[in-house]
Amino acid sequence: MTDMQRLRDRVAIVTGGGMGIGGATARRLAEEGARVLVVDVDGEAARSNVERIRSAGGQAEALQSDVGTEDGVRHMVEAAVARFQTLHILVNNAFGGVGVGGRPDATRVPEESWDRAMDVGLKAMFR
Record the pTM. Answer: 0.82
- Residue 79 belongs to a domain: yes
- Domain residues for the domain of 114 are 11-125
* Residue, of 124 and 79, whose pLDDT is higher: 79
Q: Can you tell me the distance from the alpha carbon of 109 to that of 111, in angstroms, rounded to the nearest whole number?
A: 6
Q: Note whether 89 and 11 are within 8 A (CB).
A: yes
Domain count, the chain: 1
Please report the pLDDT score of residue 97 as a whole number.
64
Average the pLDDT over 20-33 and give the result: 98
State the chain's mean pLDDT as an integer.
88
Please report the pLDDT score of residue 109 as a whole number.
76
Please report the pLDDT score of residue 112 as a whole number.
82
- Residue 58 belongs to a domain: yes
- Residue 6 belongs to a domain: no
Taking only Cα atoms into account, the Rg of the chain, rounded to an integer number of angstroms, comes to 15
- In this prediction, residue 22 has a pLDDT band, given cuts at 50, 70 and 90, of very high
Element (H, E) at 111: helix 111-121
Residue 2 has pLDDT above 70, yes or no: no
Please report the pLDDT score of residue 111 as a whole number.
77
